């Protein structure tokens, strides 16, 4: 269920790239800088509400809280129907980020309260695979909606893209109300024996105290999260991951500069996501199988570093396209395994929720500057974008190696 929910979350977040290729920039008279502003402002709202959202969730019912925020952002996604200026689109994106902020860290918090550390990577990779399916499916869906519905009801195709996908999100959220569990100690549809099993297997498996009742106060948990150096090491590392990951918003644009136009530019994004999906799921399985999350991340980061070097400086569109597939595969392998590693490094449900919200929120703030790495005037080779992305992934290798050496792979049992 959370996989389907995240599918819709990622589609609603990234359809801005498909809308741009579909004519949004022309209709709203957007410059390259305007588009970067509209992209980056999403993450301001995203950062502001992530820690408060997880503080609320740690004492709330996930089965109600998570679907509720989905209904709100799904309804909000209809707003572009009446937006006619760049400023209006920026305001819409800010509030969309504010509402979506609680979804990903909330789902990760709940999952970490059900699964052992050596079960998290493959499940997080599967959960995160929704973003790759969304990228592939979103491109196909965007191409069909934009070309097939353009002009219906005197509405541009790119506006229909936001409307249709927002309605789809609300429908999925209504289904989630009936399916999602709460925390093991508070889920009503499991028996006492099942509840004891769910809690005890986590304690035996080294997952710490994240699953049970949390009696720590908000302020005490907040201070504990801030004082833990792991919070800031993992937050800094994730800023590099997410800064490089902003390339996902420009993949349709990168297709257009390689000579693909219109719907074909949307469709050519699909193989990139398929390759990434295979690598990500394999990496998640391998990380749990070997119990060496850091080494799998280092392998994926090295692949991305080398691939983006080729993308930035190699001649020939076909060669660039091939290595773009491998570079993106490295990104989408790094993200879920890194997050599954970071979420198990903190004990106490609320402290874990706050620390992970900082990691995810501060990391996503990198998308603010990352959105400016691909200005249109730097095309068609985009040496700035590929150069900075390469440097960011080199820093990821350095930081992950340090975190592995300092804190290990075993989760909350390791002291800071």
Residues 304-319 have a mean pLDDT of 87
User: How deeply is 178 buried, as exposed, middle or buried, from its count of CB atoms within 10 A (0-12, 13-18, 19+)?
Assistant: exposed
- The pLDDT > 90 percentage for the chain reads 44
Q: Is the predicted pLDDT of residue 414 greater than 60, yes or no? A: no
Whether residue 316 lies inside any domain: the answer is yes
Q: What is the CA radius of gyration of the chain?
A: 21
Q: What pLDDT score does 208 carry?
A: 52
Whether residue 416 lies inside any domain: the answer is no
Q: What pLDDT score does 8 carry?
A: 92
- The pLDDT > 70 percentage for the chain reads 94
Whether residue 388 lies inside any domain: the answer is yes
- Contacts for 257-262 with beta carbons within 8 Å, 24 or more apart? 257/379, 257/380, 257/382, 258/317, 258/320, 258/321, 258/380, 259/317, 262/147
Who has greater pLDDT, 250 or 304? 304
Closest CA relative to residue 341, chosen from 47, 118, 114: 118
Q: What pLDDT score does 166 carry?
A: 93
Whether residue 414 lies inside any domain: the answer is no
pLDDT band at 58 (very low <50, low <70, confident <90, very high): confident
Residue holding tokens 């989905």?
Answer: 70
Q: What pLDDT score does 410 carry?
A: 60
pLDDT band at 213 (very low <50, low <70, confident <90, very high): low
Residues 31-45 have a mean pLDDT of 86
**Strand spans (E) along 113-184:** none
Q: What pLDDT score does 126 carry?
A: 93
Q: What pLDDT score does 403 carry?
A: 93
pLDDT band at 364 (very low <50, low <70, confident <90, very high): confident
Whether residue 10 lies inside any domain: the answer is yes
Provide the residue range defining the domain that includes 17. 2-407
Number of domains in the chain: 1
Whether residue 284 lies inside any domain: the answer is yes
We report the CATH number of the domain holding residue 90 as 1.20.1250.20
Q: Is the predicted pLDDT of residue 161 greater than 60, yes or no? A: yes
DSSP at 153: G
Note whether 343 and 112 are within 8 A (CB). yes
User: How deeply is 46 buried, as exposed, middle or buried, from its count of CB atoms within 10 A (0-12, 13-18, 19+)?
Assistant: buried
Whether residue 18 lies inside any domain: the answer is yes
Whether residue 415 lies inside any domain: the answer is no
Q: pLDDT digit string (tens) for 97-137?
A: 999 988 988 898 889 889 988 899 999 999 999 988 887 77
């Amino acid at each position: 269920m959370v996989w389907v929910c995240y599918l819709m979350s990622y589609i609603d977040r990234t359809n801005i790239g498909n809308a741009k290729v579909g004519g949004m920039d022309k209709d709203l008279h957007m410059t390259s800088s305007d588009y970067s502003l509209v992209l980056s402002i999403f993450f301001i709202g995203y950062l502001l509400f992530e820690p408060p959202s997880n503080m609320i969730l740690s004492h709330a019912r996930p089965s109600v809280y998570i679907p509720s925020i989905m209904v709100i952002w799904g309804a909000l996604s209809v707003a572009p129907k009446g937006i006619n200026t760049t400023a209006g689109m920026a305001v819409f994106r800010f509030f969309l980020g504010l509402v979506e902020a609680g979804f990903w860290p909330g789902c990760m918090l709940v999952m970490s309260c059900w699964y052992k550390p050596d079960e998290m990577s493959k499940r997080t990779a599967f959960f995160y695979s929704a973003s790759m399916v969304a990228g592939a499916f979103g491109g196909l869906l965007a191409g069909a909606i934009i070309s097939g519905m353009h002009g219906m009801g005197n509405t541009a195709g790119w506006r229909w893209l936001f409307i249709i996908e927002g309605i789809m999100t609300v429908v999925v959220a209504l289904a989630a109300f009936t399916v999602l569990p709460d925390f093991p100690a508070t889920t009503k549809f499991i028996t006492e024996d099942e509840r004891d099993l769910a809690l005890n297997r986590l304690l035996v498996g080294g997952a710490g105290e994240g699953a049970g009742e949390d009696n720590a106060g908000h302020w005490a948990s907040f201070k504990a999260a801030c004082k833990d150096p792991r919070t800031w090491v993992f937050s800094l590392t994730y800023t590099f991951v997410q800064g490089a990951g902003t390339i996902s918003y420009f993949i349709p644009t990168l297709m257009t500069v390689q000579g693909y136009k219109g719907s074909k530019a949307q469709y050519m994004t699909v193989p990139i996501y398929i390759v990434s999906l295979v690598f990500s799921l394999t990496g998640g399985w391998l990380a749990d199988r070997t119990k060496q999350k850091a080494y799998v991340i280092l392998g994926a980061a090295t692949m991305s570093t080398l691939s983006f070097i080729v993308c930035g400086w190699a001649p020939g569109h076909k060669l660039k396209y091939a290595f773009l597939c491998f570079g993106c595969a490295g990104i989408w392998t790094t993200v879920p395994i890194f997050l599954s590693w970071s979420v198990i490094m903190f004990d106490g449900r609320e402290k874990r929720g706050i620390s992970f919200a900082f990691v995810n929120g501060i990391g996503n703030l990198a998308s603010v500057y990352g959105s400016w790495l691909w200005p249109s005037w730097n095309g068609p080779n985009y040496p700035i974008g590929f150069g900075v992305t390469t440097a960011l992934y080199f820093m990821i290798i350095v930081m992950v190696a340090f975190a592995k050496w300092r804190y290990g792979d075993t989760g909350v049992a390791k002291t800071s």
